[in-house]
Structure 1
């Protein structure tokens, strides 16, 4: 929908659709940069663990949780890189709206991956340092908090914004 008489999209910014897509793309890239940093830190932490003396004392559950976290870190990294790869493929083909839409979906999936990676890594650390029960409680608690923060809060804010808009 356009702002009346301007031909610009109805977002109050007086920008063309192309300008809006460019801005949205840049905002998505910035979000992905933030996610990438977090994933790289967690992945780096995980990748150093097998070279620690205590790693050999992990039980089967802990080793499985560790490997699941490594796989999740790799998959989340791939998701974060995917929009850039898609951009390279679609570059100069006038498909910015497709790029922005797909990158938005990918960013949401990557955010979920980062959340799960945080849960898994915290669970592993608590399990190794304080025992299985502490690991399960820490993981479950963090999962509940992340669901509230990453799913419920944005949902409520979006709903409130729709209710407040004319």
Structure 2
């Protein structure tokens, strides 16, 4: 195979629409497994916080930030798991093209909510440990890094092609 992936492209051109849809669905499932695991671990951690002794001492700002963050985490988990539910409901109904499109859209929402969950988590930790200034700075850096890695780099790569 050539390093530029040209043989892979030729193989893909020979795929039937059904084979292409199956490949795309399988690729999406692999990607979702990584994201689902991450958001589930983060959500589980966040769900334990109200049951710690220190939680009652949080400021009103931190409690609000926690509620927004846990809401984003639950929303992210729901969105990243939704394609599995879509598949279960539509299994055997020849709706794979719709399934791939819908799963792509809901996964993007889930990843956006996951980025906000990560940012909110950083805000909470930095605010409790170092104060609001450090929390705001760390949150901005987190959001910029995640947006850069998850959005800017792929957009630039796509524009180059």
Given the two structures, how large is their TM-score scaled by the length of structure 2? 0.90
- Deviation (angstroms), 1:76: 0.7
**Structure 1, gaps ≥5 residues long:** 1-9, 162-166
- Deviation (angstroms), 1:11: 4.0
In the TM superposition, what whole-angstrom CA distance separates every residue of 1:59-102 from its partner, at most 9, and x where no partner exists? Answer: 00000001111111111111011111111222111111111111
Higher helix share: 2
Separation in 2 of the partners of 1:109 and 1:67? 19
Q: 2:42 aligned with 1:42, yes or no?
A: yes
Q: 2:142 aligned with 1:142, yes or no?
A: yes
Given the two structures, how large is their TM-score scaled by the length of structure 1? 0.87
- Deviation (angstroms), 1:34: 0.6
Partner of 1:63: 63
Partner of 1:6: none
Aligned length: 152
**Structure 2, gaps ≥5 residues long:** 1-7
Alignment RMSD? 1.4
Partner of 1:12: 10
